[in-house]
Amino acid sequence: MRVSKRLEQLYAIGGGPGANRPHGRAEEDAAHEFAGGWMKEAGLAVEVDQSGNLLGRSPVGADVWVGSHLDTVPRGGRFDGALGVVAGIEAVERVGCGAVVVFRGEEVGCIGSRALVVRGGPLPRAFLELHIEQGPVLERAGAPVGVVTSIVGYARGELLFEGRAGHAGTTPMDVRDDALVAAAEAILQVREAAVRIDGAVATVGQLAVEPGGSNVIPERVRISVDARAPHARRLDELIAAIGFEPVHRTPPSAMAEEPRRILLEEIVSRGLPAIELPSGAGHDAGILAAAGVPSAMLFVRSLNGGLSHSPDELSSEEDIELAVDVLADALRRLASAA
Ligand code: HGY
Ligand code: MN
Ligand code: MN
C-alpha cells in the first residue's frame, strides 16, 4: 500500500531508533521535501507559506483542508503526524478536490498552525485531520476508527531552581543548598497536583543540571512542565497548583458539529461502531478550531495498548486503509457542500 511505503520513507529519515525529525532541523525539512514531491505527483499546486507550512491545492474545492505535521518528538512513532499528511495527500488525489497542509513544529507547540491563525490565514472553510489515537480507547472498544469530540487544553513552561555549587565531598549535608534536591521535591509535587485534579495530567520530560559535575553540588536546575486538563477551569487550577508561568497555554477546543457528523456517517455507513472520544494529545486541529475553523479529527486505532511518542507506536495497514477511505469520502462531501 502506497501509504505504508511513504510512511516507511519518512520513518527512515531520522535514522532510528524511532522517528527523529525535530522541528527546525534538516530532518523535518527532508520530510517536507518528500511531501512536496508527492503533492506534485498528485497534480497539486504546491506552495510554502512564510512560516514554512507546506500546502498542496487541487484545482477545485481547495478551501477544505486535510493534513497534519511531519516533525516528531525524539524517538517518536512511525504514524504520529506523518499518517495525517500521507493519508491527506492520498485523499485529495483520490477525490480530486481539497488541499493538504503540512504544519511546522506541531510537537513544539503547534507553531506552524499558530502562526497561520495569528497571521489571519488564509484559513480553510473546514479542516479534517486524520491521526493515530495515541491511546487505548479504540483498541479496547474493538473499533478501527473513531471521531474526536474535543481536544485537551494544555500549558507548557518550565521551573527554575537556584542553589549554591559546592564540593560533593567537603560540604556538610546540613549547609548545602542543593538545587537538584529542590527540583526533585518539586517534580513529585507536579505529579501530586495532577493526581488531585480529575482528568488532569502533568509531566516533567526534561531536566537540565548546572554545572553538571558528578562531584559538584548542583547550583541551577531547569525542569520542563507539560500540564493538561479536559476543561479550562481545571487547567487553570492545575497551573496554579504547580505554580509555573506557562510559556504557552492552549484552551480545550471542541470539534465542529458538521465535519464530525459527516465523519460519523461515513463510519456508520460502513457498518462500523460509531465511537466518539476526547483527545488527550494536542493537535493542529485544536489550533484551527480555536481560531474558528470548523475542524474535526478522525482517529485510527492504536495497537500495543495505545503506546505513542515511542518507536512501538503501531497501527494496522487494514485500519489505515479504512481510515483513508473515510477521510476521502468526508473530504468529498465537505468540499462539495456549498
Ligand atoms: O504533545 C502532544 O500532545 C502532541 O503530540 N504534540
Ligand atoms: Mn506527538
Ligand atoms: Mn501529532
Which ligand 1 atom lies nearest to the CA of residue 106? 6
Residues 6 or more apart whose Cβ sits within 8 Å of residue 294: 125, 126, 127, 256, 257, 258, 259
Q: Which domains does the chain have, with CATH numbers?
A: 2-152+252-336 (3.40.630.10), 153-249 (3.30.70.360)
Report how far residue 273's alpha carbon sits from residue 147's, in angstroms, rounded to the nearest whole number: 11
> To which residue does cell 558528578 refer?
214
Task: Over range 201-219, report the average pLDDT.
Answer: 98
Q: Please, what sign has the CA dihedral across residues 92, 302, 299, 140?
A: positive
Report how far residue 71's alpha carbon sits from residue 183's, in angstroms, rounded to the nearest whole number: 30
Q: Give residue ranges with CB within 6 A of ligand 1.
A: 106-107, 281-282
What are residue 250's DSSP bridge partners?
A: 154
Q: Do strands 248-250 and 153-162 pair parallel, antiparallel, or not at all (unpaired)?
A: antiparallel
What secondary structure letter does DSSP report for 124? Answer: P
> To which residue does cell 466518539 refer?
276
Supply the pLDDT for residue 133.
98
Q: pLDDT digits over 37-92, tens only?
A: 999 999 999 999 999 999 999 998 889 999 999 999 999 999 999 999 999 999 99
pLDDT at 271 over 70: yes
pLDDT at 272 over 90: yes
Q: pLDDT digits over 295-332, tens only?
A: 999 999 999 999 999 999 999 999 999 999 999 999 99
pLDDT at 337 over 90: no
Supply the pLDDT for residue 284.
98
- Which ligand has the nearest atom to the CA of 285? 3
Supply the pLDDT for residue 305.
97
pLDDT band at 100 (very low <50, low <70, confident <90, very high): very high
Instruction: Assess contact for 218 and 180: CB atoms under 8 A.
Output: yes
Supply the pLDDT for residue 244.
98
pLDDT band at 338 (very low <50, low <70, confident <90, very high): low
Buried b vs exposed e over 145-182: b needs ≥16 C-beta within 10 Å?
bbbbebbbbbbbbbbebebebbeeeebeeeeebbbbeb
Q: Output the residue whose Cα is nearest ligand 1's atom 6.
A: 107
Ligand 2 center to residue 219 CA distance, Å?
33
Supply the pLDDT for residue 13.
96
Supply the pLDDT for residue 195.
98
pLDDT at 233 over 70: yes
pLDDT at 199 over 90: yes
Ligand 3 center to residue 283 CA distance, Å?
6
Supply the pLDDT for residue 25.
97
pLDDT band at 121 (very low <50, low <70, confident <90, very high): confident
- Which ligand has the nearest atom to the CA of 73? 2
pLDDT at 223 over 70: yes
Which ligand 1 atom lies nearest to the CA of residue 80? 5
